[in-house]
């Protein structure tokens, strides 16, 4: 069973009934970060988090890539040097010699020290789709190859325009094993689910989202859905389902 952290109504009844009991508190509270620390809510957060930890949770990965490759191989764990080497092998022919020199120059000056250590061997996820409303995602979706390839380039420069012609902008939903995912708050699954309920009850609430990453691949059988995004630069993107492979 996998759990969508944006859908508290899909939880077992023992949790949905407890969520309903805090409805008035949700209506009166603006920030989910405040809500989940209230004495009436803490035990519910912990219990939901424990339930999620015994199942799988949905992680959302944004990228511009070749959907058929993800369908076949899943999401791979690689270091940046290997990713950039493969990019030049597969797509170097699309760039002039001067553009290739510029690409290598920028990579060489950017991907050093912490800029590589923080990305190598990691796959990053969100756990809601709220990032689609934020402008920063346009770089992940608009430029091919993820940050390990495109971090040094802009959407409107010649190299960026060529990167924007490779692959498709994708939202990839994955069934993840919680014990393999590194997040940055305690009880993340419980807090996000309670925050999702908070937002459903109080649309003006400021919800909790959370980044996370794992250092193991996502196998193709754990790819729940691949969506090709047809518009993503501003506001909620229009989406069509490209592929779905995992059932509850």
Q: Answer left, alpha or beta for residue 145, where phi above 0 means left and psi between -120 and 50 means alpha.
A: left
Residue 238 phi, psi dihedral angles, 5° rounding: -80, 140
Tens of pLDDT, residues 35-56: 999 999 999 999 999 999 999 9
Q: What's the pLDDT at 134?
A: 72
- Judge contact between 185 and 32, C-beta under 8 A: no
Instruction: Give the integer Cα–Cα distance in Å for 146 and 140.
Output: 6
Predicted local distance difference test score (pLDDT) of residue 184: 93
What are the backbone angles phi and psi of residue 105, rounded to the nearest 5°?
Answer: -65, -45
Which three-class secondary structure state does DSSP give residue 216?
coil
Q: Contact at 8 Å (CB) between 8 and 127? A: no
Report whether 63 contacts 172 (CB < 8 A). Answer: yes
Q: Which of 204, 215, 187 is nearest to 118 (CA)?
A: 215
Question: pLDDT 10s per residue in the chain (248 long)?
Answer: 899 999 999 999 999 999 999 999 999 999 999 999 999 999 999 999 999 999 999 999 999 999 999 999 999 999 999 999 999 999 999 999 999 999 999 999 999 877 777 789 999 999 999 988 776 688 999 999 999 999 999 999 999 999 999 999 999 999 999 999 999 999 999 999 999 999 999 999 999 988 999 999 999 999 999 999 986 554 333 333 333 333 33
| pLDDT score recorded for residue 135 | 64
Give 168-180 pLDDT, tens digit per residue. 999 999 999 999 9
Q: What pLDDT, on a 0 to 100 scale, did the predictor assign at position 232? A: 59
At 81 the pLDDT is 94
Its domain, for residue 181, covers: 2-244
Check: CB of residue 10 under 8 Å from CB of residue 183: no
Q: Looking at the 3D structure of the chain, how many domains does it have?
A: 1
Residue 25 to residue 118: CA distance in whole angstroms: 39
List, in order, residues 6 or more apart from 74 with CB less than 8 Å away.
Answer: 217, 218, 219, 220, 221, 222, 223
pLDDT value of residue 118:
76
- Rounded to two decimals, the pTM is 0.89
Q: Report pLDDT for 236.
A: 38
Contact (Cβ atoms closer than 8 angstroms) between residue 207 and residue 199: yes
């Amino acid at each position: 069973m996998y759990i969508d952290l944006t859908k508290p109504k899909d939880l077992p009844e023992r949790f949905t009934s407890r969520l309903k009991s805090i409805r008035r508190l949700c209506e009166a509270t603006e920030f989910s970060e405040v809500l989940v620390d209230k004495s009436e809510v803490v035990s519910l957060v912990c219990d939901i988090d424990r339930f999620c930890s015994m199942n799988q949770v949905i992680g959302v990965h944004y990228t511009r890539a070749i959907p058929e490759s993800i369908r076949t191989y899943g999401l791979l764990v690689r270091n940046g040097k290997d990713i950039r080497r493969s990019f030049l092998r597969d797509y170097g022919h699309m760039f002039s010699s001067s553009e290739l020199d510029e690409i290598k120059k920028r990579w060489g000056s950017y991907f050093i020290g912490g800029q590589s250590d923080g990305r190598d061997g990691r796959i990053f996820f969100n756990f809601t789709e709220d990032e689609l409303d934020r402008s920063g995602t346009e770089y992940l979706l608009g430029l091919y190859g993820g940050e390990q390839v495109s971090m040094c380039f802009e959407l409107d420069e010649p190299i960026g325009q060529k990167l924007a012609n490779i692959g498709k902008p994708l939202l990839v939903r994955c069934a993840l094993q919680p014990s393999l995912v590194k997040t940055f708050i305690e009880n993340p699954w419980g807090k996000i689910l309670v925050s999702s309920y908070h937002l459903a009850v109080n649309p003006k609430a400021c919800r909790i989202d959370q980044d996370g990453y794992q250092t193991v691949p996502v196998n193709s059988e754990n790819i729940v859905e691949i969506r090709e995004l047809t518009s993503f630069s501003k506001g909620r993107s229009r989406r069509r389902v490209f592929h779905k492979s995992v059932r509850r």
